[in-house]
Amino acid sequence: MKSSGQAAVEFMICILVLVFAMIIFSVYAGSKDFERSNAEAKLEADKLCWQISHLINIAMYSRGYYSEFSLPMKINGLDYNVSVSNNNVVVDYERHSCIYQIAVTNISFRTKKAPFSLCGGDFYINNTNNELFIYNRSVVKC
């Protein structure tokens, strides 16, 4: 027959094992949530890169083309950078870069020829005589 003191010790050991198991599970679940969130943010950066390059490629081959687009201020709460040159669009985000080719010979942001950077805000793209111009519709501070 066990004494009540021994039963109390065994009960405390069981409780400690359960608490330890719950802590391990919580850490594991939290790390998986962080990985999922990080993967979603990288996919968002890739999608953004594709959308910008797609808009530029369409505009290049459509004389008189006009389109409006918006860029988020941040991706998943963190800063990012969009660089446009005469042959590619690059989105840099959290040690992750996405690069898409564009077939453009002459592109400008306002009056600045490529290469240039874009950041969050509202923009429009216009093809005038096979020359592409990107203008901002909102105040942009990059």
pLDDT per position as a tens digit, 9-45: 888 888 888 888 888 888 777 777 667 767 777 888 8
Give the model's pLDDT for residue 50. 92
What average pLDDT score do residues 76-91 get?
88
Q: How confident is the model at residue 114 (pLDDT cuts 50, 70, 90)?
A: confident
Q: Is the pLDDT of residue 3 over 80?
A: no
Q: How confident is the model at residue 74 (pLDDT cuts 50, 70, 90)?
A: confident
What 3-state class would DSSP assign to 59? helix
Give ∠ CA 25-37-141 in degrees, rounded to 5.
145
Q: Is the pLDDT of residue 141 over 70?
A: no
pTM: 0.68
Quote the percentage of the chain above a pLDDT of 90.
11
In sequence order, what DSSP letters do the residues of 1-53 get, joined into one string? ---HHHHHHHHHHHHHHHHHHHHHHHHHHHHHHHHHHHHHHHHHHHHHHHHHH
Q: Is the pLDDT of residue 1 over 60?
A: no
Q: Are 82 and 55 in contact (CB under 8 A)?
A: no
What average pLDDT score do residues 57-66 get?
86
What average pLDDT score do residues 126-141 get?
81
Residue ranges per structural domain of the chain = 4-136
Residue 72 in tokens = 């988020």
Q: How confident is the model at residue 125 (pLDDT cuts 50, 70, 90)?
A: very high
Give the model's pLDDT for residue 89. 92
Give burial (CB, 10 Å; 0-12/13-18/19+) of 134: buried
93 residue type, one letter? Y
